[in-house]
């Protein structure tokens, strides 16, 4: 089964479907990542704050797959926004993940805690050095993106934001598109909240697919990049099997119509968590 690639604004390509390791315990991360690679995933999403970069790197090294064939994303810890710390920790992530990161993100803008513009300039240096082959942001609002456009030289390749049928983020996705920034969707099934939705279960029954497969297919057809996570092999395989059917225009409209502005995570304009 072939996963489509998305071409980023820097000319690099990223597999549209990936495997996320958020909330996977480090003790389980290597096995889960190896299982995902065996199934066929070639895009892994981790972060410094997840505490499992080392185990992702070990899985990649032990997989027998050439590092160049695997796209690996990590994200800067909220405690390292100072430019020197951002540069140092970007290099640490690269070292743990095979010598470089394919994509390195500012995890949260933290607008009430620090200024993300100098942090972004440190990521620009990581990009120029080849430490991070692409750089981007996560959880940035449109006005945060406009600051980067006006005050820095490199446009983020991606903006990784919470997106699911209960939070469709139409205006922010459009702002991303207007700036040439790809949208990545985290919490793609709203931590399971949407799986019992009557509309989604109806569409899943019609296609003889699971509700999760239908929601992931909705993300894919919208053009977003998505990376579900699971430690269950059967679920990892199920999440990968979404390229042998297509949702109709009516299906897509019905799912998008479920939007209620419901977040499962924090508001990026007020979130201020910095690890001790």
Q: CA 82, CA 251: separation in Å to the nearest integer? A: 45
Annotate 67-102 with b (16+ C-beta within 10 A) or e (fewer). Answer: eeebbbbbbbbbebbebeebbebbbebbebbbebbb
Contact status, residue 157 vs residue 7, Cβ threshold 8 Å: no
One of 41, 50, 127, 166 is an active-site residue; which one? Answer: 50
- Is 50 assigned a catalytic role? yes
Pairwise CA distance, residues 41 & 43, whole Å:
6
CA-to-CA separations, 62 to 30, 37, 67, 231, in angstroms, rounded:
9, 11, 10, 18
> Which residues participate in catalysis according to the annotation?
50
């Amino acid at each position: 089964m072939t996963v489509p690639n998305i071409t980023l604004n820097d000319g690099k390509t990223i597999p549209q479907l990936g495997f996320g390791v958020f909330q996977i315990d480090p003790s389980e991360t290597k096995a889960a990542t190896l299982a995902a690679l065996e199934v066929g995933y070639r895009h892994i999403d981790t972060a410094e704050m997840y505490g499992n970069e080392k185990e992702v790197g070990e899985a990649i090294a032990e997989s027998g797959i050439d590092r160049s064939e695997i796209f690996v994303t990590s994200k800067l810890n909220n405690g390292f926004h100072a430019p020197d710390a951002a540069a140092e920790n970007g290099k640490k992530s690269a070292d743990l993940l095979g010598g470089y990161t394919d994509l390195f993100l500012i995890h949260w803008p933290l607008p009430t805690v620090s200024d993300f513009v100098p942090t972004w300039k440190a990521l620009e240096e990581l990009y120029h050095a080849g430490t991070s082959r692409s750089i981007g942001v996560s959880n940035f609002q449109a006005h945060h993106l406009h600051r980067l456009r006006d005050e820095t030289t490199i446009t983020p390749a991606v903006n990784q934001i919470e997106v699911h049928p209960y939070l469709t983020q139409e205006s922010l996705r459009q702002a991303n598109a207007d700036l040439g920034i790809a949208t990545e969707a985290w919490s793609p099934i709203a931590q399971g909240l949407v799986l019992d939705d009557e509309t989604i279960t109806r569409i899943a029954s019609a296609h003889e697919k699971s509700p999760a497969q239908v929601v992931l297919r909705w993300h894919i057809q919208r053009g977003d990049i998505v990376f579900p996570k699971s430690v269950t092999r059967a679920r990892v395989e199920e999440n990968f099997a979404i390229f042998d059917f297509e949702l109709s225009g009516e299906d897509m409209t019905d799912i998008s119509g479920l939007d209620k502005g419901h977040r499962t995570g924090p508001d990026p304009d007020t979130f201020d968590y910095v690890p001790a």
